Copies of this chain bind each other. A is one copy, B any other.
Amino acid sequence: MVHHSGELIGTVAFAASGALVAVRRNLDVVGILLLAVATALGGGIVRDVIIGNTPPIAFTDYRFLVAAAAAGLLIFFWRVPARLTRWPLDVTDAIGLGMFAVAGTVVAYDWGLGAPGAALLGLTTAIGGGVIRDVLSGQIPIVLRPGEHLYAIPALACASAVAILLRYTDYQAWMGLVCAVAAIALRLASLKFGWHGPRPWYTGRTEPEG
């Protein structure tokens, strides 16, 4: 179960991102723990429910719960300055994104999904935790924010690469790690250098809703 290592790293990273969002919103220790755990376990629970792997491993293998809660508590007890809730949030979220893109694809493929379905579920797993974190916090999910930098593209590229490797090669865990690192680097580079996906060329502004 080598992909469990990657999923644990992603769990800790996503838990930290949820805890940092909770700190920025000035929630108490319970809110910090809840948002850390929901962000960290949410994507994997969605994946397991979709493939029918019930109850999800988050409810049977308590390492994920303990790791997520520990990351949340660490951030609660650590005197993190407010300015450190911004770029570490981006970094931890990117690590979770890349790790879960790989773990989601591998688990879905092992469970019998075809390569395209496994890649789609890998993408869902990767962005699911962040979507849950942001919706629960009353924010638009990063992945659908106007003007946001590359987010789904690194995750989808990573999940697709892993699906192709699973389908056509003798997949090894280091291949998944390379894909995850590439996705994380692409996400962070897009933040650093301000890369965007192409927008429809017929509109230059956000039209107000309603």
Chain A interface residues (CB < 8 Å from chain B):
22-32, 34-35, 45, 49-52, 54-56, 59-60, 62, 65, 76, 79-82, 85, 108, 111, 113-114, 116-117, 120-121, 131, 135-141, 143-144, 146-148, 150-153, 196-203, 205-207, 209
Given the interface pairs A32-B200, A137-B144, the reply to whether A24 lies near B207 with Cβ below 8 Å is yes
Q: Which residue of B lies closest to A85 (CB)?
A: B207
Complex Cα gap A137–B51 (Å) = 26
**A121: which B residues are within 8 A, CB to CB?**
55, 59
Q: A120-B65, A135-B136, A153-B30 are in contact. Are A25 and B76 (CB under 8 A)?
A: no
B26 & A203 in contact (Cβ 8 Å cutoff): yes
Knowing A139-B138, A143-B34, the reply to whether A28 touches B197 (Cβ < 8 A) is yes
Interface of A is mostly: loop
Q: How many whole Å from A45's CB to the nearest CB in chain B? A: 7
Task: Tell me how far the C-beta of A153 lies from the nearest C-beta in chain B, rounded to whole angstroms.
Answer: 6
Q: A60: nearest residue on chain B (CB-CB)? A: B117
A-B contact pairs, 30 of them (CB 8 A): A24-B207, A25-B206, A25-B209, A26-B206, A26-B207, A27-B199, A28-B197, A28-B198, A28-B199, A29-B197, A29-B199, A30-B197, A35-B144, A49-B50, A50-B55, A52-B52, A52-B54, A52-B55, A55-B111, A55-B121, A60-B114, A62-B117, A65-B120, A79-B200, A79-B201, A82-B202, A85-B207, A135-B135, A136-B140, A138-B139
